[in-house]
């Protein structure tokens, strides 16, 4: 686990998390692990028939990456709530960067917002996360 900043005032930027390039092999592995039946994750021809240029990654890949970008700073059991708006599809060859920022200090934790972008800076997802701040509330 990374060390969270000593203080976490509003506006602190946490170290971003970058996924590997989400190529077809990784998309296939994730899709099979999730038993996702949607052909948009596997069948390029189907995708073109509905106006997509290629297969797209399951939305869960962005959600897992976003959650992990917080967990690696605050610990696996720190998460209380994640609310993710899925903005745009992720395509093979996209590499996602999750950039968390502390946006509020709550009674028992922190509110963190996180943008998920590809290497061109296109927004793919954005989320609001609530974490328990164990430095203020140890077990």
Partner 1 sequence: MTTIPETARPNAAIPEVGTVLGTFDAPLTRARVWRVDWSVGLDTMEYQDPEVAREAGMPDIPVPPGSLVFFSFLEDMTWLEKTGVSFDKSLAVQRRLEMHQPLYVGDVVRGAPTISKVDVKDKGDKSLVFVTVTTDYQCDGATALVEHVTYMTRHPKEA
Applying CB under 8 A, the residues found at the interface with partner 1 are 1, 17-20, 22, 26-27, 29-30, 32-40, 46, 49-50, 59-61, 63-68, 71-72, 76-77, 79-86
Judged by beta carbon, residue 80 or residue 137, the one nearer partner 1 is 80
Smallest separation (angstroms) from partner 1 to the CB of 14: 14
Judged by beta carbon, residue 11 or residue 41, the one nearer partner 1 is 41
Task: Collect all residues with Cβ–Cβ distance below 8 Å to 20 and sequence separation of at least 6.
Answer: 26, 95
Nearest CA to 112 among 98, 122, 123, 97? 98
Judged by beta carbon, residue 9 or residue 124, the one nearer partner 1 is 124
Task: Collect all residues with Cβ–Cβ distance below 8 Å to 85 and sequence separation of at least 6.
Answer: 125, 126, 127
31, 41 Cβ separation under 8 angstroms: yes
């Amino acid at each position: 686990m990374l060390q969270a900043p000593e203080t976490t005032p509003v506006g602190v930027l946490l170290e971003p998390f970058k996924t590997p390039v989400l190529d077809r092999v990784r998309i296939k592995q994730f899709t099979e692990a999730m038993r996702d039946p949607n052909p948009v994750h596997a069948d390029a021809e189907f995708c073109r028939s509905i106006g997509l240029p290629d297969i797209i990654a399951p939305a869960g890949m962005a959600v897992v990456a976003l959650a992990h970008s917080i967990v690696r700073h605050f610990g696996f059991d720190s998460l209380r709530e994640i609310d993710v708006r899925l903005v745009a599809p992720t395509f093979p060859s996209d590499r996602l960067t999750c950039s968390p920022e502390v946006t509020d200090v709550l009674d028992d934790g922190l509110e963190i917002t996180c943008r998920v972008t590809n290497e061109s800076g296109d927004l793919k997802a954005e989320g609001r996360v609530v974490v328990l701040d164990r430095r203020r509330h140890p077990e």
